[in-house]
A and B are shown apart, each in its own frame.
Chain A
Amino acid sequence: MTKTVTQNDLVRYVYGEVSPEEKLSVEVQKICDTEIDESLEDMMHLKSVMDTIVYQPQTSSLEAILKYSKQKRQSLQTV
């Protein structure tokens, strides 16, 4: 018998934090319950949009970090 799925379970499902049994429960109830199906669809869609919002650091920051790493290495070698 599948466990009743809560809204918190749906959030965990969307973010991949469910056990295989819980995953199955969600997927079964998704078929039978249109409200759960719609909630999941909305969450997944929003997640996919948020996934595309990314920012990149400037090249100068990356270079500064790599330079620090090399300098740190050198300072450790001279000790």
Chain B
Amino acid sequence: MITVNNKITDAQLIKMYKAGNEVAFAELLARYKTKIYTTIYMIVKDKYIAEDLFQETFIKVINKLTSGTYNEEGKFSMWVSRIAHNLAIDHFRKKKRYPTILAEDGSNIFNTLDFTEDSIESKRVKEDTHAALKQLIQTLPESQREVLIMRHYADMSFKEIAEATGVSINTALGRMRYALINLRKKFKETEFAYDQNSYPK
């Protein structure tokens, strides 16, 4: 079995995959599963739909890579992020639902969070902080939330965001700025204001 490590570039993995190496694809999937799933989930806020759209994203990736028409000049990470984001936004718009503050449906949403070896209290503070911030993100105006998710979770550049949303780069930047300002303001107002000891800079 060929061992693939993360020192191999995405482009090399794609080349290997196109040549028939399934392990290379498994490595690509492992590299991007967290970012892609997180991006989708932050938009649709439903884990079952997020799972479906996550699979659909990578099925599109597989179909494109095996079709021989994939453009190797582009960056794989931006391409797959774009697919995921578009699928999530299309779903969101079809359903005409605006994710609002949702009651958590159980601890299993949080069980994917990866903590370092912290005390129980410190873990609890972080869990509460995450819960508060996740809810606050959902209270942002749609245009600000969209830019925040596209930049922070889908890792799209502001130029790409501007193109995708049909606005100028300055508008995209302004929306991001206000998203951060609003989050900062609301976050400080909550009792879970960031604990400087839990998040060392």
Contact = CB atoms under 8 A, between A and B. Distances in A.
State yes or no: do A and B come from one complex.
yes
Interface of A: 7-8, 10-12, 15, 17, 41-50, 52-58, 60-62, 64-66, 68-70, 72-73, 76
A49 B20 contact: no
Nearest to B155: A15
B145 interface: no
Interface stretch (B3-11, B70-78, B95-103, B125-133): B125-133
B194 interface: yes
Given A48-B201, A69-B22, A62 B34 contact: no
27 contacts: A8-B170, A8-B174, A8-B177, A11-B180, A12-B173, A15-B152, A41-B201, A42-B180, A42-B184, A43-B180, A45-B199, A45-B201, A46-B194, A48-B199, A48-B201, A49-B129, A50-B133, A54-B38, A54-B112, A54-B113, A55-B34, A57-B54, A65-B55, A66-B29, A68-B58, A68-B62, A73-B66
B165 interface: no
A35 to B, nearest CB: 13
Contacts of B176: 11
Q: Is the interface of A mostly helix, strand, loop or mixed?
A: helix
Interface of B: 20, 22, 25-26, 29, 33-34, 37-38, 41, 47, 50-51, 54-55, 58-59, 62-63, 66, 109, 112-114, 126, 129-130, 133-134, 151-152, 157-158, 170, 173-174, 176-177, 180, 183-184, 187, 194, 199, 201
Contacts, number: 105
A68 B62 CA distance: 8
A58 B34 CA distance: 11
Q: Is the interface of B mostly helix, strand, loop or mixed?
A: helix
Given A11-B173, A43-B180, A70-B22, A57 B62 contact: no
A52 to B, nearest CB: 7
